[in-house]
Structure 1
Amino acid sequence: MSANIQSLSFGSQDGNQTLDTIWGRRSIGRLVEPAPNQSELTALLEAGSIAPDHDRLRPFRFIILSGDSLDAFGSILAERLTARLALAGMSPTEGQLQKERTKLRRAPLVIVVAAKIDTSSRIPEIEQFATAAAAAENILLAATSMGYGSMWRTGDISYDEKIKQEFGLSSTDHIVGWLYIGTRTDSSLPVAVQVPDITDLASHWTP
């Protein structure tokens, strides 16, 4: 049987920068320059690379999009939208195409995190995917600790095989997320987060 645990107290912990970073992370939809510089970007990727990793498979890949590559890949996203809709006998509007072309410009830096699945490994695919997801969260937390805003996005583009191929991924690999990173503006300041009641989510197991 199980027993509910007592509700825990959440909030800023004086002197505990790690917890402050975790509780301070928010999803920010619109971000601007400056983006992390090269040394900061390296630190973000290194933070991602030390995620919990069963058997040290390193089942993650990081693809960097910035500058002109945001526009170039935006054109690919528009082409793929056209192709996906064509399968349903539909055509995109110009507004839809423009949205695809410019969606990556919602931040000056996008890090695509992919799960590179080793199908020959004894480690289950779900554990390899979990490692890549943990790498993505490490990157977001590292960005928050540097003072940058971020947002983890997915959508249809994460499951499009042609888009995966553009990144050198195979059909057994997965795009875990598109991490948008940049500087917050006055209009994109984070709102307070609603911390869930832990008593509804956790319990002590007893024999």
Structure 2
Amino acid sequence: MPDIHIYTVSNDRYFSAGLHALLRHGETLPHNKIALHELPFEKETFEAHTLPELKNSACDFLILDCSCGFINYYGACSALYAALEQGTLEARIILMYENSLCLTNPDMYNHFITLDKNACVEDILLAISPRQTVQDEFDAEEEEATSRQYLTGRELIVINEIYSGAQPYEIAKKLKLRLKTINCYKNRAMKKICSKRTLDAYA
């Protein structure tokens, strides 16, 4: 019996097959412990009460292929983000992107796991593998403390202003901070957003 159920949404008919092939090469988690399911590439997938796999917690991970350009158009991320905020969704969401990923609400980066579509199998397994030992958890907590990838409150404010069209000098004046400080927040936020490192937003 599979231990992990992963649902994929993509208009690339090779996406799920390619992902499965990658996982077969993983040594951390045997591929027969993972069940991959494909969901329809349709707007209705994300409308209320039309995705029972998410509602009844049968889905452990939902992987959205953001390289197709449909995510913002269908509002899928907004719907999933709202469900996470309301506590009606327990599945972990992985956004796989190509080159870059730009969400309308920067706070979404703190709720989703982001992963480059060309990621190696180790990164994919890191995103979906449960930690096996207490030592693993301790090591992960230490890494989180020294290399936190979440956006801070100030970084969120600055990046929101930038996405709204404000220039760094305008933000500096509004927040009464030095331009150098604003640029520092901006650069740190963009580095986190564009990072190819797997972010476990639920740790």
Q: Name the TM tier (shorter chain).
A: under 0.3
Which of structures 1 and 2 has the larger relative contact order (alpha carbons within 8 angstroms, sep 6+)?
A: 1
* Greater helix proportion: 2
Structure with the greater alpha carbon radius of gyration: 1
With the length of structure 2 as denominator, give the TM-score of the two structures: 0.26
